[in-house]
Structure 1
Amino acid sequence: MSAKRVFITGGASGLGRALANCFADAGYWVCIGDVDDGRGAEALAELQAKTTAHYCHCDVTQESALQAVADWLLSEWGGVDVVVNNAGVASAGGITEFPLSDWEWIMDINVLGVVRGCKVFAKLMQAQGSGHLVNVASLAGLISPPNMASYCATKAAVVAISEVLTLELDPDNIAVSVVCPSFFRTNLAESVRASDADSQAAAQRLVNKAKLGADEIASRVFASIEKGEFYILPHPEGRNIWRLKRWLPFTHFRALMLKQARRMMSKHDVR
């Protein structure tokens, strides 16, 4: 088979859909999974105008759903070259207000959803002798703004999982990348669970007023995936603040983050 094959969870909208189009434009066969079948049908029609494409209803909280996709890919396309564990949700709220039931909800999707995807598809890639796992985290997995403990914890876990797997799976000729974008315009705000109205509004403002959209971020991410980069930070300002965290004494970085947090939470100056 000459064409490369990719599977993307959460591929019916947002970054997942934008990435699917990048892969399609590059000649990949594209399989997308999602829980929104209506958006899935729309995305599939868009992709089929460019390449061989397929849609699977796929709930990442169910290992059996991911295994069914892996089985289909093996049976119909002979395997898969790249898997993007992209499906995710958002949350906001203080540690004393955010309910444990919502912690469990976001952990099940953002962390265990990635774990399930890596577990299922690493096995397939080991059998075929190669592959590339791409896990979508967030800049929030590298730095930690206030009132986002649950979201930051899940994304930091995705970074840690990816760091482990790039070592663990190297002998199997399986590459690993972790994507850590800052805020960009997408439909992620639709999924936000917040402990209060102010946190909900702040999260939505940060997404809706971002300078870049999903298409722009996807093109940068796709280029980095093709280069085989491990840490993929598509925002230059995100790369800069990550460097500052690594280089500055924590007391200095903490002061910087407190100042930035006041700006982020302001109703009059969200950038």
Structure 2
Amino acid sequence: MKRVLITGGASGLGAALAARFAERGDRVLVTDVAAGAPHRLDITSESDWATALERVRDEFGGLDVLVNNAGIAAGGRIDRLSAEHWQRVLSVNVLGAVNGCRTFTPLFKEQGAGHIVNVASAAGLMHPPSMSSYNASKAAVVALSESLRYELGPWGVSVSVVCPSFFRTNLAQSLSGDDPQMEAGAVRLINEARRGADEIAVRVIREVDARKFLIIPDSDGRTAYRAKRFTRFLYDRKMFALGAKLRRDEKTEAARE
């Protein structure tokens, strides 16, 4: 039986992961900023993290798996995104995960064991146009995870980073509205995705159990990642084509105004 803390666990992938862990008998503390979560945790608040650590020590006597899952969706062209948008995305998606790692690393070192699971995105590995803030935030989570893998390994602490492609979830509700045209496309991709959060969760838990570092839980993401690594010219051609489409769409948009 493992002791697990999950952020953003009230819905989406977090809720699916919590259900799968609980089904097999693990003890799970589900945290979320939303009302109704078993434990309220704003991942941007250091005091909330301190309270979560205290509860874990008191009720669980330690922790085996920290899942930094909470995050927000983002999209938009660079000249349409405000400074406030960037600050919000980086504060939640990057510093939220950093706060979790900072809070629980001392406990993991004391135990001589532990596993940090940072949920990033395929956008942390592949970086299409009109998604600069989201891509940057998720790429930072990938880099954070790789760094901690080497830093904490000597203490017996494992690290995994999860990079799923689009799957059906309520993540689109967190879009900020800075660039509605681009965000509408993201919403469509999320809503029309073939996979749901439950399917992703099953694969993630299996590979977390195997102590795998880079977890790409869907075939679309794995295909795209291999294309970028091994046929870069084709990947670049596709990305430039998307950029060219953006330019055509902007011309059409301007002509309508």
TM-score class, shorter-chain normalisation, is over 0.9
Structure 1 unaligned residues grouped into runs of 5+: 41-54, 267-271
Contact 2:129/2:242 (<8 A) preserved: no
**For 1:8, which of 6, 9, 19 is the aligned residue?**
6
Q: How many residues align?
A: 246
State the partner residue of 1:133. 116
Instruction: Map 1:101-180 to 2 at 5 A.
Output: 101-180=84-163
1:97-121 deviation digits (Å, cap 9, x = unpaired): 1101010001000000000000111
Tell me the SS of whatever aligns to 1:89: coil
Alignment-derived partner of residue 215 in structure 2? 232
Match of 1:33 in 2: 31
Q: Percent identity?
A: 48
TM-score, normalised relative to structure 1: 0.87
- Following superposition of structure 1 onto structure 2, how do residues 172-191 of structure 1 map, counting pairs within 5 Å? 172-191=155-174
Give the alignment's TM-score, normalised by structure 2. Answer: 0.92
Q: CA deviation at 1:85?
A: 0.2
Deviations 1:49-106 (A, max 9, x none): xxxxxx2100000112112111111112101100000000011110011101010001
Contact 2:145–2:160 (CA under 8 A) maintained in structure 1: yes
Alpha-carbon distance between aligned partners in 1 of 2:224 and 2:61, rounded to the nearest angstrom = 42
Superposition deviation, residue 200 in structure 1: 2.2
Alpha-carbon distance in structure 2 between the residues aligned to 1:174 and 1:80: 11
Contact 1:177 1:230 in 2 (8 A): yes
CA contact (8 A) 1:98 1:194 kept: no
Deviation, structure 1 residue 155: 0.1
Within the candidate set 54, 74, 81, 1:71 is matched to 54
Tell me the residue number matched to 1:51: none
1:240–1:260: structure 2 CA closer, same or farther, 3 Å change rule?
A: farther
Deviations 1:154-211 (A, max 9, x none): 0000000000000000011000000000000000000012322211211110110000
**Unpaired segments ≥5 residues, structure 2:** 250-257
Q: Match of 2:185?
A: 202
